[in-house]
Structure 1
């Protein structure tokens, strides 16, 4: 049997450009991990302590808290955090817990305050987390109040307009961790974007099952066959240390395995319109539309001074998807980005919450918009004047995330059930699933479990 080199699976992703340069190859081996990582309670507990408690975690966009006193709540696993912009403009993060008796301080997803007041006994804390008021302070023995009564703060740093927190006070600086991909992310001006859609849904699977499904497009032909007429699934994968990775997802051309490379189908017609091309007058084939979209968007940028000269051709047409270890993926486009977070359940390794945001930056230019396939309806406020509420659907409820994501939410519980079977001996990853092996290798490194 002929051995297939991974390079044979890759497609060309535009004209040569520094952005498209391949990362040095990382060989993560061929071992087969135990499936216990997907369902075992002991593994999940150890994972929380050794991975989540020692990693940088994406809490949310800085645009959600533009003014002093603005805060948002970030819940993950058994913990809850308050992320707040201080009086000095700096962003801080504290555990969402009162040091008096342990009550959570805030329950709302967002808000604006001058100070935090505990709902149980009215103790108060400033934005920095310092205790400023103890109700009936004279009834406490002085020796009791000599103990630390401030909020417990956590490391909090910002990169490309995104706020990350870490429970590990000794963790390396965020920008050092993100260094291999940070210059690439900075090209997208995420710090100038704001949330225009935010949805959460509870899924009956382990959070790593979500990471796995979103880190490969090998499954598109089987789970999302409707995408094959407008998305290619043979593509470039790049890996970096720390579990970081990226993958190009080429749009506006059929997959190589799709039989019809000629017909400009309705999906591709939509992408042509996005780029300002009239499908009725377009003379090329479906296989040629990706290049046409790239050229049209570059011309639009030149005409309207959008600054797209900093992007490679593939960035203009494709989704460039980054994995930030442990539980975040970012799908990047010049006009908008998708944030995906896979939040572990507080106690059940067979559940997680899928949290997804679309961030957009409005530009007053004819034809400028978020990619149509993102599914932002005409009712969506793209101005940034109002922060949309979080729409949260519970376990078993139709998530209403759109056809493709709803298909994922239906499938992952089936995968999770199989992962618990005695007959499943662990995953066997192809080179198309290289990001999965890379992710799990970093997971095991942090778990100190050595070789699989």
Structure 2
């Protein structure tokens, strides 16, 4: 079968949705076709450069805003060798500061969620207010040097967008809105704040964080390790858009890949998608190739009665996967009624390991009760299943990590279908090497 890449899959005129997600194809950047050096995936030197020039400079996803509803609610989140506390203040604002006691370096709270009136170190009972100010030092008169300078933990930048909270280790970081760039204009129409937690998992993976990022930046691997998805989505006619730091691809769902023969009956996955929308597959008399657009029309007509407001979304967003990446380490499979979000975090010391956060949210229809917040789970790869598709990705990544350390493998040999990977590394190189980017001899 002659499979050709097309980019004209968006049929909705963006001018018809002036307040919605822009759907137009962005111009592809000319980033060349050099190898992406393999060394940067396992080099401790490059890992150190990433810490000094990337992780400690950018905005990072900290958690979900609805975990910080009341004064004293806090999120303790780890990134590399650092841990950060993000705290809701009595006046409703947010504050963030390092999760460390200034006395002897003890962590004030373990990673996770909580509510408190103050942060008291369990070692010697030094106590900090919700704003990070030191409120008690037992036997302060025994310290001839007095309390630490400024009498408080250093403040870190923090902010909110899209129902999520963000922080930076860089006190001079640009405003969050500037860093996110086009992301709010693209994603605000989904109204993430209307979606509730349904899954919160951290899995320890035996690969570099970038190995994981790469895996979710392209659809080329569907025909390789996810063949079952070809009966549910079109992995060929995918629109790829690269912006300043961030990127996306738009994948048609409720349709069939041109890599396989068109079936005479409705595949089970599309059958499930129709039933979930309230459409009875047994009553459908059209062709399988027409289901996607007929399903879009059905959802558009019936959503208001189901308490679902999709008025800011275009028709393709009612079925398709709009996959966005927020540099450096957030990936989102976004649909009208749910989000599957990945946060890929580096290991503190080992470039061959990482932490993979899997967060899932589902739309709560108007008038329905907000569900109880799902509990967080943490385990190592292989201990539990995280679903067929993600298990397939997870199974493959450790062998990729090992293979990249072969003397025969010099770097990534990328196709046009993997443009987002090349763009990701282009942005990474700007942070690591400056405006001149990657040069021969650099990792």
User: Is the TM-score greater than 0.5?
Assistant: yes
Counterpart in the other structure of 2:422: 437
TM-superposed deviation, 1:309: 2.5
TM-score in terms of structure 2 length: 0.92
Q: Please give the secondary structure, in 1, of the residue aligned with 2:160.
A: strand
Give the one of 10, 31, 55 matched to 2:7: 10
Q: Please give the secondary structure, in 2, of the residue aligned with 1:183.
A: helix
In the alignment, is the contact (CA less than 8 A) between 1:245 and 1:323 conserved in 2? yes
Q: Please give the secondary structure, in 1, of the residue aligned with 2:303.
A: helix
Whole-Å Cα distance in 1 between the matches of residues 300 and 33 of structure 2?
42
Give the one of 385, 401, 404 matched to 1:419: 404
Give the one of 384, 387, 391 matched to 2:377: 391
Whole-Å Cα distance in 2 between the matches of residues 35 and 67 of structure 1?
46
TM-superposed deviation, 1:147: 2.6
Whole-Å Cα distance in 1 between the matches of residues 225 and 307 of structure 2?
40
Counterpart in the other structure of 2:230: 228
TM-superposed deviation, 1:221: 0.8
Counterpart in the other structure of 1:300: 302
Counterpart in the other structure of 1:206: 208
Counterpart in the other structure of 2:23: 20
Whole-Å Cα distance in 2 between the matches of residues 331 and 260 of structure 1?
25
Counterpart in the other structure of 1:37: 40
In the alignment, is the contact (CA less than 8 A) between 1:37 and 1:44 conserved in 2? yes
Whole-Å Cα distance in 2 between the matches of residues 258 and 291 of structure 1?
20
TM-superposed deviation, 1:303: 4.2
Q: Give 1:245-284 correspondences, 5 Å limit.
A: 245-284=247-286
In the alignment, structure 2 segments of 5+ residues that lack a partner are: 16-21
Counterpart in the other structure of 1:59: 62
TM-superposed deviation, 1:347: 0.6
In the alignment, is the contact (CA less than 8 A) between 1:232 and 1:249 conserved in 2? yes
Tell me how large the CA RMSD over aligned residues is: 1.9
In the alignment, is the contact (CA less than 8 A) between 1:262 and 1:287 conserved in 2? no
Over 3 Å counting, the alpha-carbon distance change for 1:286 and 1:398 in structure 2 is: farther
In the alignment, is the contact (CA less than 8 A) between 1:268 and 1:286 conserved in 2? no
TM-score in terms of structure 1 length: 0.91
TM-superposed deviation, 1:231: 1.1
- The C-alpha deviation readout for 1:47-88, integer Å capped at 9, x for no partner, is 111111111111111111111100111112111111110111
Give the one of 78, 99, 103 matched to 2:102: 99
Counterpart in the other structure of 1:450: 438
Whole-Å Cα distance in 1 between the matches of residues 102 and 189 of structure 2?
42
Counterpart in the other structure of 1:376: none
Q: Please give the secondary structure, in 2, of the residue aligned with 1:322.
A: strand
TM-superposed deviation, 1:307: 2.9
TM-superposed deviation, 1:311: 0.8
Q: Please give the secondary structure, in 2, of the residue aligned with 1:145.
A: coil
Whole-Å Cα distance in 2 between the matches of residues 103 and 288 of structure 1?
61
Whole-Å Cα distance in 2 between the matches of residues 361 and 266 of structure 1?
23
Whole-Å Cα distance in 2 between the matches of residues 208 and 146 of structure 1?
38
Q: Please give the secondary structure, in 2, of the residue aligned with 1:20.
A: coil
The count of corresponding residues between Structure 1 and Structure 2 is: 429
